[in-house]
């Protein structure tokens, strides 16, 4: 089986959309997907309202909501999808782990764990 890693370190919903599109495409090809949310990318995992104003014109033209894509990736992916909230970043920013939406977060781990898990990945992408 193939495997990809995706690093999301940007708070832009447009970058999240690109990462989720890649994840869904990989999943459709039975490729294992590991998504690592770190630094500003952790904001995508926070519970509560998401600011979509940056991509409102794209949404009006039919682009799917990237947060719906994230929900679907986790829900549809089963054992093939792992979404990781970076604990090192949580500690550094002094964010409480309880603020992270566990419905879209399958694991809490640091960079060493991510590196270990993508060691045998075919490719790693950054958004």
Residue 91 in tokens: 């500690």
Q: How far apart are CA 26 and CA 43, in angstroms?
A: 23
The residue behind tokens 């990945």 is: 121
CATH class belonging to 3-126: alpha beta
Q: How far apart are CA 121 and CA 34, in angstroms?
A: 9
Domain regions of the chain by residue span: 3-126
Distances (CA, A) of 44 to 3, 77, 94, 116, 120: 23, 18, 17, 23, 26
State the pLDDT at residue 35. Answer: 98
The reported pTM is 0.94
State the pLDDT at residue 64. Answer: 96
Q: How far apart are CA 26 and CA 6, in angstroms?
A: 11
**pLDDT per residue over 87-99, tens digit each?**
999 999 999 999 9
State the pLDDT at residue 41. Answer: 97
State the pLDDT at residue 65. Answer: 98
- Which segments in the chain show pLDDT lower than 50? none
State the pLDDT at residue 82. Answer: 97
**pLDDT per residue over 11-22, tens digit each?**
999 999 999 999
Distances (CA, A) of 109 to 3, 13, 16, 35, 87: 19, 23, 20, 12, 5
Bridge partners (DSSP) listed for residue 4:
33, 123
Contacts of 103 (CB under 8 A, 6+ apart): 71, 74
């Amino acid at each position: 089986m193939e495997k990809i890693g995706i690093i999301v370190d940007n708070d832009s919903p447009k970058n999240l959309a690109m990462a989720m599109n890649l994840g869904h495409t990989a999943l459709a090809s039975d490729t294992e997907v590991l998504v690592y949310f770190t630094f500003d990318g952790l904001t995508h995992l926070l519970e509560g309202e998401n600011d979509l104003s940056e991509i409102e014109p794209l949404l009006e033209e039919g682009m799917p909501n990237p947060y719906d894509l994230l929900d679907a990736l986790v829900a549809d992916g089963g054992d093939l999808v792992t979404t990781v909230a970076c604990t090192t970043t949580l500690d550094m920013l002094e964010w409480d782990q309880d603020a992270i939406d566990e419905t879209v977060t399958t694991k809490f781990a640091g960079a060493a764990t991510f590196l270990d898990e993508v060691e045998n990945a075919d490719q790693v992408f950054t958004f």
